[in-house]
Chains A and B, each alone.
Chain A
Amino acid sequence: MTVTSEALRIERLSAGYPRRRVIEQLTLDPFPANRITALVGPNAAGKSTLMLALAGLIRATGSVRLGGRDILDMAVAERANAVTFMPQALPQGVALSALESVMASLKASPVAGLEARGPRVRERAFAALERLSIGDIAMEQLNRLSGGQRQLVSLAQAVIREPRVLLLDEPTSALDLRHQTQVMGLVRELASEGKVVVIVLHDLNLAARWADHIVVLRDGTAAAQGDPERAITPGMLAYVYGVEARVERSSLGHLQVSVERVLPQGAGVHVAAASPDASIH
């Protein structure tokens, strides 16, 4: 198991699509190793763009340093050794079993330090599925699995490569509460092995409950960042999401966001400008 204490440092990152720059000169606090970093924000805030840029799937400039190396400068195969990205969904109509799909993600390209030949690959793939408690569907065809099961298999495909940086795009979007909790528990376990785990989440309560570090994006810039208490505030919610909301602690000590109403357009900006961290009640 690779253990690293290297944080992911993003500086002056610009990324986007041929005719549309989504992120411009973005510099963020380091994403710490051993921690879960959640990217949150409204639709079109730049979360997925940032994720794709970190995964090397769209063109980006600036620097994304992991240890002494800039992952933007790495070749595809070298980056795949350090970083694994899990997209939101597996494609439909694929005639592969869960086990084969996990094997393929290891066999697709060599991973430094991992033996990927012979029966060891099968054992390793099965262990990855077992780790997510889905060893019983190893021989099932992907087509026959529920959305939630497919998402878990997809996570197993990322986990098997034991990357230093794990990028997860909404890994819980198709999961029920029980599986959400299971998956986030596993994500926490993976982070504690020394990985940098970056996860896109839409559910702020889930982010507040599980993330150690939260980056709130709005229009390609960081509207707030830091631990959940610092990042999730009524002022931020008004400014970024345009809603009036309470942020309270549950009896278990977790932050909880309760939206009360949608603010008229532009109102949130004034609230945030007056006092970004203040309660708006």
Chain B
Amino acid sequence: MPEARKGVNAAGVLDAYASLLRVRIAIVLGVGVLAVAAFVADLATGPSSLGAVDALRGLFVPHKLDRASSVIVWEVRLPQALMALLVGAALSLAGAEMQTILNNPMASPFTLGMSSAATFGAALAIVLGIGVPGVPETWIISVNAFLFAFGSVLLLNVLSRLHASGGETIVLFGIALFFTFNALVALTQFIASEQALQQLVFWTMGSLTRATLDKVFILAVVLAVVVPFSMLSAWQLTALRLGQDRARSLGINVARLRLAGLLRASLLTGTAVAFVGTIAFIGLVGPHLARLLIGEDHRFFLPASMLCGALVMSAASCASKAVVPGIVLPIGLVTSLIGVPFFLALILGRRERI
């Protein structure tokens, strides 16, 4: 170029970038520390009279607690607190990937019908007793929920491939699935017995009370399997933010990236929803919070989304115990009630900051 501007110092810009990376790492670690703090608070609180100190002592020195307290810590609080962290991380990672691959900030497991599909699967098990043959009775609801969430994504992908369409059409198909499965859930509610209806409604509210260490372990394994694949796609996902045509021209197989991302999201959502029921807004709020804090370099955006989701979910779990003393509200209600105003505040404040 004839007139390269003077005064732009390459070393200065590269130093600034290096310090930006350090800030981002610090932010990721900071959110991680907050998530751990929320986890500890979640562990330390509950409707029983077991205090924070005893709960933590019971965790590290189990034999110091009496039998009842030990059960509270190890079979109620710990699985629930861990499940809150992992479900928050899983749904938020799923939401982050979906928002990128579908190029839509409103994409999330909840808004694209995955959660509704899972609910329908659960409803079939609860109301009609329909499930996969050979699956133990205690797992039948979870397995159904998982299979339907996973199936809904496959359906979404087949529909969009048949129409050779891009992200926008997938979102529209997702919304159509959302309403279809909601209608099917309503239909099962209509024919359900009073007892089954009560169980189904409770399931749809989303609750951590069904958490066990077995389920926590399964979700942790799913996360451990999925996260490396997500991180390996980080640069491709970042490049996809520059537009689909550009990404393809850069050598990215966008259709494959999209399918792999949707499958990862369905695996995460299916497993999470199978264990805790419908949890709204975490898949939306986590990625938005991370985007505001850290931008969309997916090497940082994906882990930040997971940690933000874990933090918000753990905080929601604490709140679910604090709103009405002595009673634990279903966490799905709390994430919706807290999530909506929080989300609105984020969106309204966003233009100023980005």
> B10 near A: Cβ within 8 Å?
yes
User: Does A96 lie within 8 Å of B241, measured CB to CB?
Assistant: yes
- Least distance between A205 CB and chain B CB atoms (Å): 20
**A107–B243 CB distance below 8 A:** no
- Tell me the minimal C-beta distance from B10 to chain A in angstroms: 6
Write out, one digit per residue, whether chain B residues 229-271 have a CB within 8 A of any chain A CB (1) or not (0): 0000001101101110111111111000000000000000000
B residues whose Cβ falls under 8 Å from a Cβ of A? 1-5, 7-8, 10, 13-14, 16-17, 20, 103, 105, 164, 235-236, 238-239, 241-243, 245-253, 291, 295-297, 354
Closest Cβ–Cβ distance, residue B96 to chain A (whole Å): 12
Asked if residues A81 and B251 are in contact (CB atoms below 8 Å), the reply is: yes
Tell me how far the C-beta of B6 lies from the nearest C-beta in chain A, rounded to whole angstroms.
Answer: 10
In the bound complex, what is the Cα–Cα distance between A167 and B249 (angstroms)? 10
The answer to whether residues A105 and B14 also contact, given A94-B242, A135-B8 and a CB cut-off of 8 A, is: no
Interface of B is mostly: loop
Q: Determine whether A87 belongs to the interface, using a CB cutoff of 8 Å to chain B.
A: yes
Which of A101, A143, A167, A186 has the most chain B CB atoms inside 10 A of its CB? A101
In the complex, what's the smallest C-beta–C-beta distance from A64 to chain B, in angstroms? 15
Verify B236–A135 contact, CB threshold 8 A.
no
Given contacts A100-B238, A123-B10, A138-B17, 18 further A-B contacts (CB under 8 A): A56-B248, A76-B248, A90-B242, A90-B246, A91-B103, A93-B354, A94-B241, A94-B296, A96-B296, A100-B295, A101-B242, A108-B251, A119-B14, A122-B14, A138-B13, A139-B17, A185-B2, A189-B1
Chain A residues, CB < 8 A from B7:
136
Check A80 for interface membership: any CB of B closer than 8 A.
yes
Question: A136 contacts which chain B residues (CB < 8 A)?
Answer: 5, 7-8
Bound together, the chains give a CA A86 to CA B247 distance in angstroms of 10
Q: How far is the CA of A132 from the CA of B296 in the complex (A)?
A: 24
Q: Contact at B246–A100, with CB atoms within 8 Å?
A: no
**A interface, size bucket:** 35 or more
Is A34's CB within 8 Å of the partner chain B?
Answer: no
CB-defined A-B contacts under 8 Å, sample of 28: A18-B164, A79-B251, A80-B252, A84-B250, A90-B243, A94-B241, A94-B296, A95-B296, A96-B238, A96-B242, A96-B295, A99-B17, A104-B238, A104-B239, A105-B246, A108-B238, A108-B247, A108-B250, A108-B251, A109-B250, A110-B251, A133-B5, A135-B5, A135-B8, A135-B10, A138-B8, A139-B13, A185-B2
CB of A198, distance to nearest CB on chain B (Å) = 13
B14 adjacent to A126 (CB under 8 Å)? yes
Expressed in whole angstroms, the minimum distance between the Cβ of B298 and any Cβ of chain A is 9
Pick the contact of B242 from A105, A132, A185 — CB < 8 Å? A105
Interface string of A121-136 (1 = CB under 8 A from B): 0110011001111011
Nearest chain A residue, comparing its CB with the CB of B235: A107
**Contact across chains for B249 and A84 when beta carbons are under 8 A apart:** yes
Q: How far is the CA of A126 from the CA of B2 in the complex (A)?
A: 17
Tell me if A185 and B8 are in contact (CB < 8 A). no
Please name all residues of chain A whose beta carbon is closer than 8 Å to the beta carbon of B1 when the two chains form the complex: 131-133, 182, 185-186, 189
Instruction: Decide if B13 touches A135 in the complex (CB within 8 Å).
Output: yes
Expressed in whole angstroms, the Cα–Cα distance for A76 and B13 within the complex equals: 33
CA distance A77 to B243 in the complex (A): 17
Is A35 an interface position by the 8 A CB rule?
no
Q: Please, what's the 1-or-0 string for A153-165, where 1 marks a CB less than 8 Å from any CB in chain B?
A: 0100100010000
Q: How far is the CA of A90 from the CA of B239 in the complex (A)?
A: 11
Q: Encode A218-259 as 1/0 by CB contact (under 8 A) with B.
A: 000000000000000000000000000000000000000000
A141 at the interface (CB under 8 A from B): yes
B250 touches A99 (CB 8 A): no
Min distance, Cβ A169 to any Cβ of chain B, angstroms: 9
Q: In the bound complex, do residue A141 and residue B354 qualify as a contact, i.e. CB atoms below 8 Å apart?
A: yes
Give every chain B residue within 8 A of A138 (Cβ-Cβ).
8, 13, 17
When distances are taken between beta carbons in the complex, the residues of chain B under 8 Å from A126 are 10, 13-14
Contact: B241 with A85, CB < 8 Å? Answer: no
Residues of A within 8 A of B297 (CB): 96, 100, 104
CB nearest neighbor in B for A153: B242
A104 touches B235 (CB 8 A): yes
Interchain CA distance A106-B103 in the complex, whole Å = 21
Does A97 belong to the interface (CB within 8 Å)?
Answer: yes
A133 touches B235 (CB 8 A): no
Nearest CB on A from B40, distance (A)? 31
A146 to chain B, nearest CB (A): 16
Tell me, rounded to whole Å, the shortest Cβ–Cβ distance linking B293 to chain A.
10
Partner of B251, one of A77, A135, A157: A77
- Chain B residues contacting A77 (CB-CB under 8 Å) are 251, 253
Q: How far in angstroms is the closest Cβ of chain A from B254?
A: 9
CB of A66 within 8 Å of the partner chain: no
A131 to B10, CA, bound (A): 12
Q: How far is the CA of A18 from the CA of B163 in the complex (A)?
A: 10
Select B239's contact among A57, A86, A105, A186, beta carbons within 8 Å: A105
Q: Is A208 an interface residue (CB 8 A)?
A: no
**CA gap between A136 and B16 in the complex, in Å:** 12
Indicate if A83 sits at the interface (CB-CB under 8 A): yes
Is there a chain B Cβ closer than 8 Å to A196's Cβ?
A: no
B250 CB contact (under 8 Å) in A80, A123, A139:
A80
- The list of the 10 closest CB pairs from A to B, nearest first, reads A80-B251, A109-B251, A108-B239, A85-B249, A135-B8, A107-B235, A108-B250, A104-B239, A95-B296, A104-B238
Q: Does A55 contact B (CB under 8 A)?
A: yes
Chain B: minimal CB distance from A163 (Å): 9
How many angstroms from the CA of A107 to the CA of B253 in the assembled complex?
A: 14
Per the bound structure, the CA–CA distance linking A101 and B242 in Å amounts to 7
| Contact A76 B252, beta carbon cutoff 8 Å | yes
